[in-house]
């Protein structure tokens, strides 16, 4: 098949860990590479955010990245991109009118809007993966939510306009049904993990003699790093390593780093809080392997790939019972689930787990098995491929009828 992925703000070529660069970038890159490996012709369309970028790039993984001119060729916050989606759609429509893909798979709601507009009159099926829903963001962030005001209504419209939705977890399906999506037009395919890269054995980042807790991801309030810092008071022997954020040289000027350091100082745990700054994607497995326990403690999370990476590396996980983490972390088997925004419960869980070497080892071994059997990218890609074929098969009678009418 010719498969076009649309990911308007999250380029598969982007450095991970920036303000708007994270799990979606990883997901799109791995899905594109996996589909190409299965013999499909794959192009990822993403917005040009640098004037020096070429129009099209052929990646080493066998897929193309097309940089779509829509709005200024500079980095913009994703919440400011809606005004440029009509232009983005016009470019796609012109290309798809000339060379028609078999399937379009949109990633994030604005990509969905552009894809639906661009396929108008072309008869190309559009599948949608939201990666995050405005209704959930609004519920948790309230007035701090910077999404466009009409986002929820537009997402509700997408549920009606696209051919099929590929959700990443059970919790997302419940949210989509509230937006009016019927259960026969949604499939669950989780995010994945590269089990050839994230392995129990391999390089290990330097560490001290203290038990190490590790939290990995962007430094934004909803990711829960503050709760991890506050929980550190309950585990007096341990250190907390925070991986992510700005470059190491810029840590002292970062507002969120300064805020978290201030909280740590007030609690008397500042000497046990370590910030690494951003690290290369290649170094992430080594940092995970250096930990005794990996934390994933967001207030809410559409899916969350950190637990998968930790499990694949054989490390036990303590995670908040939200979103996709409820699916991926088997409570009492590969890790422990705790309530969100509850540092006391988090600290209690961490202290108990650090005191139990046997349970940590058991969680780690079970995590490797779970990651390799359920979440390896080859399976995720195969399941996504199967959904594409299901949608195309459902459209076959419609296509046949149109051909007969034209005769």
Here the tokens at position 333 are 């088997």
Here the tokens at position 47 are 């917005």
Residue 126 is classified by DSSP as E
CATH number given to 212-374: 3.40.50.2000
In three state form, how does the secondary structure of 164-197 look? EEEECCHHHHHHHHHCCCCHHHEEECCCCECCCC
Q: What's the rounded Cα separation, in Å, for the pair 124 and 118? A: 10
Q: Model pTM greater than 0.75? A: yes
Sequence-distant (6+) residues with CB within 8 A of 398 are none
Sequence-distant (6+) residues with CB within 8 A of 335 are 307, 311, 316, 317, 318, 319, 329, 363, 367
Task: Note whether 341 and 224 are within 8 A (CB).
Answer: yes
Q: What's the rounded Cα separation, in Å, for the pair 4 and 104? A: 5
Here the tokens at position 285 are 């497995």
Cα dihedral 117, 118, 124, 129 sign: negative
CA 360 and chain centroid, separation? 26
H-type alpha helices, 232-283:
255-267
Domain ranges of the chain: 2-192+377-406, 212-374
Strands (E) in 234-356, as ranges, are 239-243, 273-277, 293-296, 317-320, 335-338
Task: Note whether 323 and 296 are within 8 A (CB).
Answer: no
Q: What's the rounded Cα separation, in Å, for the pair 266 and 251? A: 19
Q: What's the rounded Cα separation, in Å, for the pair 270 and 182? A: 50
Closest among 26, 13, 83 to 54, alpha carbons compared: 13
- What is the reported pLDDT for 398? 62
Q: What's the rounded Cα separation, in Å, for the pair 210 and 240? A: 10
Q: What's the rounded Cα separation, in Å, for the pair 53 and 66? A: 10
Q: What's the rounded Cα separation, in Å, for the pair 71 and 87? A: 8
DSSP 3-state of 279? coil
Closest among 133, 164, 130 to 10, alpha carbons compared: 130
- What is the reported pLDDT for 145? 79
In order of 158, 193, 349, the CA distances from 370 in angstroms are 33, 11, 21
Cα dihedral 174, 81, 280, 12 sign: positive
Fold of the CATH domain 2-192+377-406? Rossmann fold (3.40.50)
Here the tokens at position 247 are 């470059």
Strands (E) in 259-391, as ranges, are 273-277, 293-296, 317-320, 335-338
Same CATH fold assignment for domains 2-192+377-406 and 212-374: yes
DSSP 3-state of 51? coil
CA 206 and chain centroid, separation? 27
Per-residue pLDDT of the chain (407 residues; tens, 9 = 90+): 999 999 999 999 874 444 445 678 889 999 999 999 999 999 999 999 999 999 999 999 999 999 999 999 999 998 899 999 999 999 999 999 999 999 999 999 999 999 999 999 999 999 999 998 888 888 877 877 778 889 999 999 999 999 999 999 998 999 999 999 999 999 999 999 999 999 999 999 999 999 999 999 889 888 999 999 999 999 999 999 999 999 999 999 999 999 999 999 999 999 999 999 998 888 999 999 999 999 999 998 878 889 999 999 999 999 999 989 999 999 999 999 999 999 999 999 999 999 999 999 999 999 999 999 999 999 999 999 999 999 999 987 665 454 345 44
171-191 b/e (C-beta count within 10 Å ≥ 16 → b): bbbebbeebebeeebbbbbbb
- What is the reported pLDDT for 407? 43
Number of neighbouring beta carbons within 10 Å of residue 151: 19
- What is the reported pLDDT for 147? 86
Q: What's the rounded Cα separation, in Å, for the pair 360 and 375? A: 21
Here the tokens at position 368 are 């490797």
């Amino acid at each position: 098949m010719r498969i076009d992925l649309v990911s308007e703000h999250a380029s598969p070529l982007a450095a991970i860990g920036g303000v708007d660069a994270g799990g979606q970038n990883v997901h799109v890159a791995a899905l594109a590479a996996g589909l190409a490996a299965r013999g499909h012709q794959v192009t990822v369309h993403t917005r040009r955010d640098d004037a020096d970028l070429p129009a099209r790039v052929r990646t080493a993984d066998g897929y193309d990245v097309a940089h779509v001119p829509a709005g200024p060729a500079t980095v913009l916050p994703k919440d400011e991109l809606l005004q440029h989606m009509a232009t983005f759609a016009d470019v796609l429509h012109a290309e798809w009118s000339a060379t028609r893909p078999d399937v379009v798979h949109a990633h994030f709601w604005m990509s969905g809007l552009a894809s639906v507009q661009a396929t108008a009159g072309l008869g190309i099926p559009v599948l949608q993966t939201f990666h995050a829903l405005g209704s959930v963001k609004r519920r948790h962030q309230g007035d701090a939510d910077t999404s466009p005001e009409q986002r929820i209504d537009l997402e509700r419209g997408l549920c009606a306009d696209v051919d099929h939705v590929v959700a990443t977890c059970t919790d997302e399906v419940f949210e989509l049904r509230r937006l009016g999506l019927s259960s026969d037009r949604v499939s669950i395919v989780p995010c994945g993990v590269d089990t050839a890269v994230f392995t129990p054995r391999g390089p290990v980042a330097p560490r001290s003699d203290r038990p190490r807790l590790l939290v990995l991801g962007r430094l934004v309030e909803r990711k829960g790093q503050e709760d991890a810092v506050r929980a550190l008071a309950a585990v007096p022997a341990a250190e907390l390593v925070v991986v992510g954020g700005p470059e190491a040289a810029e840590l002292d000027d970062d507002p969120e780093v300064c805020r978290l350091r201030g909280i740590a100082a007030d609690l008397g745990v500042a000497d046990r809080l370590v910030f690494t700054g951003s690290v290369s994607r290649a170094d992430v497995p080594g940092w995970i392997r250096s930990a005794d326990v990996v934390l994933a403690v967001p207030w809410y999370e559409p899916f969350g790939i950190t637990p998968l990476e930790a499990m694949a590396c054989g490390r036990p996980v303590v995670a908040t019972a939200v979103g996709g983490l409820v699916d991926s972390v088997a409570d009492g088997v590969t890790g422990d689930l705790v309530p969100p925004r509850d540092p006391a419960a988090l600290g209690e869980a961490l202290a108990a787990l650090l005191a139990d070497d046997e349970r940590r080892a058991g969680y780690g071994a079970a995590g490797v098995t779970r990651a390799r059997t359920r979440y390896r990218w080859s399976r995720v890609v195969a399941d996504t491929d199967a959904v594409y074929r299901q949608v195309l098969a459902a459209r076959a009678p419609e296509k046949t009828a149109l051909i007969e009418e034209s005769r």
